[in-house]
Structure 1
Amino acid sequence: MLLVLVVLGLAAAAWARTASRGWGLAALGVVVVLAAIVLTVRPRPATRLPETGELEVGGRRVTGLVLPLRRPSGAQALGVAVLAVLFLGAAVVTFVTQRPAPPDAVFGMVLLAVFGVLFAVAALALWAASGRVPYVGLTPTHLLVFQETAQVEVPWSDLAGVAPVVARTGASPLPDAVGSWVAVRVRTGSPAASGVKLRGPASRVVTQVPGPTGTTTAALIGDVHWAVDPVLAWWTLSYYAEHPAERRELSGPAAVERVTAGDLR
């Protein structure tokens, strides 16, 4: 966040210095930044409850227990898009007003354009993600994790365990906040382990906490990603992983009744 604010300050400064009416455009830049912050920062949504829903397993529609995950909002995508417009607009103003352009102006214009394109790509990714509802699904035969664009389908027979993981996920050399994750681990060599590619913070968690020998981390769900209570989600996954005889109830309302009642011991 600090780096983003510094870059925004540089963009506003470049806009103010290069425009013919610097102070007016600088004020406009501040308004745009504030609008982006208002759109991007939003209160944490209310916690949802587990529910029974239709899930897809191997191309078939089945009924199972659904633990919803949070998804990016359209407002977040709009806020990032506003930032993209700010940076690209500053690059255009630099190009128009600095002619012939000195080397420092050219460097600033290129830097602004690069950040503008990055924000534009991020806005498109957030907008695409906001249309999909991620979830963790439990059926009598499979554990499903749908995140981003891919669904991991783990047959209960291939599940090696569901374990809590605590790790620092930041790339900075300075100490970062500790995050809590739920790791879904499968036996190495099982079909569920093939083709799994964890990216971003999840890949760094796996590097720090690789898991027991003979297992592969098929999915990671951070505590901030759950739309349900993270503790309730953890107990639900643990219960059905350890009680095979109770999985048949996952196709009906009995599973929701058990979870909402807290009968997971």
Structure 2
Amino acid sequence: MDSDRALSCPQPWRAPDGTVHSSGVPGGQVSTVAEDGGGGLLLPSRQARVAAGVLLVVAGLALGGVTALLIVFGGVIAMFGAVVFGILGLLLLAAGVFALRRKPRTTGVLLTPEHVVINWVHPAVRVPWSDISEIRPLCLRIGRANTGPSQNFVGVVSHNSETMNTRMRKAAEKFGKDVACALPMRSLDVDQLVVLHTLTFYLDNPDARAELAGPDAVRRVREVRLRSPE
């Protein structure tokens, strides 16, 4: 990314020495997905599907090993334990294989021409662009020291907080009464600066929101064309 297209980092996301607070290593890509008969730009959330699937498979195989040992040792109690562990092992193994083979869900922050949809929560939260007054970078520091660990958030300042569910509003209260929602950057699988500048660009440029329904928005984000026209 060359200097004239580099995304600036806001001060709240910087450490005292000027470095950027990390929110993990993103591995996802923005994409266009279908939504209610239209399309939208998806900023994907992290999914623990692969890690969870592998863990379940390993646990199932481990119980299978325990089952084999109990069968070898014999005895009534050992055979009963073998049956129990064997069934649990098969269930865990089946769940792990299912998790690994299941098609990934298209969850994250979905930007449509009319709404910002947060669909990794249930039920999904739909915020009209017209209700959003500001996209605000936020930081939550753990402890009193400036050098302590921190977490970065993107705050959605909305005219109508009723569009948010109670859980999201309560989580955002620590950042101010005007913050209706605080999106944790560790939950998203896209670079945090891309998330911040993409939301800010489409908030500030309503005429460009029509492209969110198609591939033009994906190209804009991948080419880092997120500066408002001067």
Instruction: Report the Cα distance in structure 1 between the residues aligned to 2:26 and 2:138, rounded to whole angstroms.
Output: 25
1:234 maps to which of 182, 193, 196: 196
Q: Given the alignment of the two structures, is residue 180 of structure 1 paired with residue 152 of structure 2, yes or no?
A: yes
Report deviation, 1:64.
1.1
Residues 1:176 and 1:73: Cα distance change in structure 2 (over 3 Å): farther
Report deviation, 1:196.
3.2
Instruction: Report the Cα distance in structure 1 between the residues aligned to 2:26 and 2:205, rounded to whole angstroms.
Output: 30
Percent identity, aligned pairs only, is 27
> What does the per-residue CA deviation read over 1:169-200, in whole Å, with 9 as the maximum and x for residues that have no partner?
68xxxx9621101112211465x14x33239x
Deviates more, 1:237-246 or 1:224-233: 224-233
2:33 maps to which of 49, 53, 60: 53
SS at the partner of 1:198? helix
Contact 1:52–1:65 at 8 Å: present in 2 too? yes
Q: TM-score, normalised by structure 1?
A: 0.52
Q: Given the alignment of the two structures, is residue 164 of structure 1 paired with residue 164 of structure 2, yes or no?
A: no
Q: Which residue of 2 aligns with 1:244?
A: 206
Contact 2:173–2:179 at 8 Å: present in 1 too? no
Residues 1:73 and 1:196: Cα distance change in structure 2 (over 3 Å): same
Q: Which residue of 1 aligns with 2:176?
A: 210
Q: Which runs of 5+ in 2 are unaligned?
A: 1-23, 64-98
Residues 1:217 and 1:239: Cα distance change in structure 2 (over 3 Å): same
SS at the partner of 1:197? helix
Number of aligned residues: 165
SS at the partner of 2:195? helix
Q: Which residue of 2 aligns with 1:198?
A: 168
Structure 1 runs (4+) greater than 6 angstroms displaced: none
RMSD: 3.5
Report deviation, 1:48.
2.2
Residues 1:139 and 1:133: Cα distance change in structure 2 (over 3 Å): closer
Contact 1:161–1:184 at 8 Å: present in 2 too? yes
Q: Which runs of 5+ in 1 are unaligned?
A: 1-43, 87-126
Residues 1:188 and 1:135: Cα distance change in structure 2 (over 3 Å): same
Q: Which residue of 1 aligns with 2:42?
A: 66
Q: Given the alignment of the two structures, is residue 151 of structure 1 paired with residue 97 of structure 2, yes or no?
A: no
Instruction: Report the Cα distance in structure 1 between the residues aligned to 2:53 and 2:183, rounded to whole angstroms.
Output: 22
Instruction: Report the Cα distance in structure 1 between the residues aligned to 2:200 and 2:113, rounded to whole angstroms.
Output: 15
Report deviation, 1:79.
4.3
Q: Which residue of 2 aligns with 1:142?
A: 115
Contact 2:155–2:179 at 8 Å: present in 1 too? no
Instruction: Report the Cα distance in structure 1 between the residues aligned to 2:194 and 2:117, rounded to whole angstroms.
Output: 17
Q: 1:208 is aligned with what amino acid?
A: K
Instruction: Report the Cα distance in structure 1 between the residues aligned to 2:199 and 2:213, rounded to whole angstroms.
Output: 15
Contact 2:43–2:195 at 8 Å: present in 1 too? yes
Q: Which residue of 2 aligns with 1:105?
A: none
Instruction: Report the Cα distance in structure 2 between the residues aligned to 1:233 and 1:225, rounded to whole angstroms.
Output: 11
> What does the per-residue CA deviation read over 1:114-144, in whole Å, with 9 as the maximum and x for residues that have no partner?
xxxxxxxxxxxxx8xx964421111111111
Instruction: Report the Cα distance in structure 1 between the residues aligned to 2:208 and 2:153, rounded to whole angstroms.
Output: 25
Pick 1 or 2: higher relative contact order, CA cutoff 8 A, min separation 6: 2
Q: Which residue of 2 aligns with 1:256?
A: 218
